[in-house]
Structure 1
Amino acid sequence: MPKAYAYTRYGGPETETFVDVDRPSPGPGQILVAVRAAGVNPVDWKLRTGFRRPGDTGEPEFPLVLGNEAAGVVEEVGEGVTGFAAGDAVFGNTVSGGYAEYALLPAAVTAHLPRELSFTDAAVLPVAAATAYDGIRQLGLPAGATLLVTGAGGGVGVAAVQIARAFGLRVIGTASEGKKEFVERLGAVHIAPGPELAARVRAVTPEGVDGVYDLVGGEVLQEAAALLTDRSRLISAGAAQEEIERLGGARVARARTAAVLDEVARLVVRGDLDPHISRTFPLERAGEALRAVEEGHARGKVVIEVAA
């Protein structure tokens, strides 16, 4: 039977285990994919602890397979699916988790893999890179404008800095001192987080900033908001809806479309976006892969590779 890495109840790493599962059957609008690579993200372990995303309803049926993004080869398509056929190389978000030999993907959020792109690189685009792209598009800043990205050293932040630069924006990024060189290599002006953030930003851009892409929330978000005269240019993927709305901003509006995946893939192919894969693990070591992300030991993206 196909193998998958799942959690059997809400809790910590002790709830994780390998399970044998039936090969999934695609429902209407779904694609069955033989997984070649799966991205590892903080949301994976957060969901394991019981975190519920906006819109999540109903009670889960355990075990739940981990993973929210994957790349692989189409095995079968469900009713109503067009544009995909068995043998196609694809990547996208998952319906059933990606830490597995087989996964279901919604056709609406699945894209064809460009020839120039590896399964490993494509597997980390649907969550962090697509979130970054959606936010940059939502801000709609003109070329030459200045964007502040808080949390620029994290998965979404790294992608947001690069995408913003590709759109012609000047970028200032907050990150720990340990990530200063890394953030600067991405093309951003590095600013250390912490108290009096606004003053440090104004020291390098006295006129303030034209937009803020927040990935941290809390006091960092409040200080960043003070740099803006137009709060409609304030978006966050790191704060609660009520927190960002209280400051006059908005949550990042996720498009969740194949078109966005196509766009981020093109950015990678053109050399404008480096996925920054730092570590890969075989499926047999999926637990180690998730620990690397959960414990904060990984700089860059972590990928689980599944043998063909």
Structure 2
Amino acid sequence: MPKAYVFTRYGGPETEALVELDRPSPGPGEVLVAVRAAGVNPVDWKQRTGYRRPGESGERDFPAVLGNEVAGTVVETGEGVTGFAPGDEVFGTAVAGGYAEYALLAAHITAPRPPALSVTDAATLPVAAATAYDGVHQLALPAGATLLVTGAGGGVGVAVVQIARALGVRVVGVASEAKKDLVESLGAVHVTSGTGWTDRARAAAPDGVAGVYDLVGGDVLREAADLVADRTKLITAGAPADAAEALGGARVLRARDAAVLRAVAALVVGGALDPHVTRSYPLEQAGQALREVEDGHARGKIVIEIGATA
């Protein structure tokens, strides 16, 4: 039977396990893929704790497969699906988990993988890069404006910096000292996170910032709000909508469609976006991959390799 990395109830890492599950069958509007690589994101462990995305409701069926973004090969298509056939190389958003040998994708959030786009890079795009793309275009800052990015050294942050820079936006990236070289290599001005970071940010942007893209939430989001004059240019993917709205800002508005996937794939193929996959793990070590992201130590993106990725 196919293997999958799951959580058996809400809680911490102790709920995770590698198990065997029946191969899923695609329903209407779904595509079944043999997974070759799965991206690892903070939302994965947050869902294990019971987190719901805006608009999500209902309880999960356990065991629940972890993971939200994959790249793989189409095996079967469900009723009403057009444009995909068995053997196609695709990447997209998992319907019910992606850390598995087989996963169901929502066809409307699935795109063909261009031959020049590697499997591991493709697996990082549906959540991290697409979130970055949506937020940068939501802010719509003009070329030459300054964008402050908190959590600039993580998977989404790395993509935000590059997408904004490709549009001519100046970026100040807040991240740990350990990620300074990474942030600066992307073309951003690095500001060390931690106590006093707002003073350092003001020094790095003496004329102020035109927008804030927050990926941390909590106190960092509240402190960042004081750095932008126009609170409509304050967005977050690191905090609930009500936390952002209380400060005059908003959550990142996700398009969640294949057009965005094609757009970010084109940025990678064209050289404007490097997902910075810094480490990969086999499915048997999915727990270690998730710990690296959950503990906040990941630089760039972590990927789980499940099938051949050459």
Shared fold (TM-score, shorter chain, > 0.5): yes
2:113 is matched with: 113
2:9 is matched with: 9
Letter in 1 for 2:260: V
CA deviation after TM superposition for structure 1 residue 277, in Å? 0.9
Letter in 2 for 1:132: A
What secondary structure sits across from 1:109 in the alignment?
strand
CA deviation after TM superposition for structure 1 residue 152, in Å? 0.7
Q: Distance in 2 between matches of 1:288 and 1:231?
A: 38
Letter in 1 for 2:175: A
Q: Distance in 2 between matches of 1:223 and 1:69?
A: 31
After superposition, the C-alpha distances for 1:61-115 in whole angstroms (9 at most, x for unaligned) are 1111111110000111111111111111000110121111110000010010011
- Deviation >6 Å, runs of 4+: none
Q: Distance in 2 between matches of 1:194 and 1:302?
A: 24
After superposition, the C-alpha distances for 1:156-198 in whole angstroms (9 at most, x for unaligned) are 1111001100111000111112211211111100112344444
Q: TM-score, normalised by structure 2?
A: 0.95
2:173 is matched with: 173
User: In the TM superposition, what are the counterparts of 1:221-236 in structure 2 within 5 Å?
Assistant: 221-236=221-236
CA deviation after TM superposition for structure 1 residue 283, in Å? 1.6
Output the aligned Cα RMSD.
Answer: 1.4
Contact 2:155–2:275 (CA<8 Å) still a contact in 1?
no
Letter in 2 for 1:215: L
After superposition, the C-alpha distances for 1:141-165 in whole angstroms (9 at most, x for unaligned) are 1111111111111221111001100
What secondary structure sits across from 2:108 in the alignment?
helix
Q: Distance in 2 between matches of 1:165 and 1:69?
A: 25
1:63 is matched with: 63
1:202 lines up with 2:214 in the alignment: no
1:137 is matched with: 137
* Number of residue pairs aligned between Structure 1 and Structure 2: 308
1:243 is matched with: 243
Q: Which moved more, 1:234-243 or 1:22-31?
A: 234-243
1:211 is matched with: 211
* Alignment gaps of 5+ in structure 2: none
Contact 2:165–2:187 (CA<8 Å) still a contact in 1?
yes
CA deviation after TM superposition for structure 1 residue 42, in Å? 1.6
Letter in 1 for 2:273: L
User: In the TM superposition, what are the counterparts of 1:262-281 in structure 2 within 5 Å?
Assistant: 262-281=262-281
Q: Distance in 1 between matches of 2:206 and 2:287?
A: 47
Identical-pair percentage: 71
Structure 1 residues 100 and 160, CA, compared in 2 at 3 Å: closer, same or farther?
same
2:253 is matched with: 253
What secondary structure sits across from 1:262 in the alignment?
helix
1:21 is matched with: 21
